[in-house]
Amino acid sequence: MAKLQGKVAIVTGASKGIGASTAVYLADAGASVVVNYSSSKQDADRVVAEIVAKGQKAVAVQANLSKEADVRRLFTETKKAFGRVDILVNNAGIYEFAPLDAITPEHFRKMFDLNVLGLLLASQEAARHIGPAGGSIINISSVAGKTSLATAAVYCATKAAVNSITGTLAQELGPHKIRVNAIGPGMVETEGVRTAGIDKGELRVNIEAQTPLGRIGRPQDIAPAVVFLASDDAAWLTGETLYISGGYR
């Protein structure tokens, strides 16, 4: 039997990149998957079609994770579609780089509202909906949460917050049999990275030079670890951040 057979997973920000790959891997492991998206409906539908074509179950649900009403609707639609919630992958997030003199309240709020508040709101709803048998919350953080990157003060701060929240919620939700862990990827080649031009820039060159395995990551490097943390293979693992970065520190 597939290790997540009968489970229901929500993956936020799952229309592209790490989220899309994670949704496919969770479905391959037997889970029914809700592919959340904010604006990329066509991409989300493509992920759902890939999953359904293999005889697995998935639906796409639009929700802006920085809006409380949207988060509640995401979980309501999940229960309508599949009847339960067992796994939440808090993947939705954004990054924008700005030097200190260019940081504005809008820049700050845009990233903190999604990367931190959105994660908290989704986790709050997950705690309300996961049943007495327990479940798993997996937060997608970043090596940026423990490193110092010039022009990334706000982004790094959001990911440091994710790491702190992971440990705090593990303490709080452990008595309810809900495990909370995080994954901290290094630089991963995603649509967002390519759109920003980072995949061909000096930052990539410098990171690869400092990475023992000599390359940046791919979404499929991250997704199997999410399946592990969601499964009973990680039944005694909570409050941890697993860094998947090719050895980059």
Q: Which residues are catalytic?
A: 155
Enumerate residues 6+ apart whose C-beta is below 8 A from 81. 32, 34, 59, 61
Tokens representing residue 133 in the block:
């048998």
Q: Angle at the Cα of 59 (from 91 to 50), degrees rounded to 5? A: 85
Q: Angle at the Cα of 18 (from 77 to 89), degrees rounded to 5? A: 40
Enumerate residues 6+ apart whose C-beta is below 8 A from 67. none
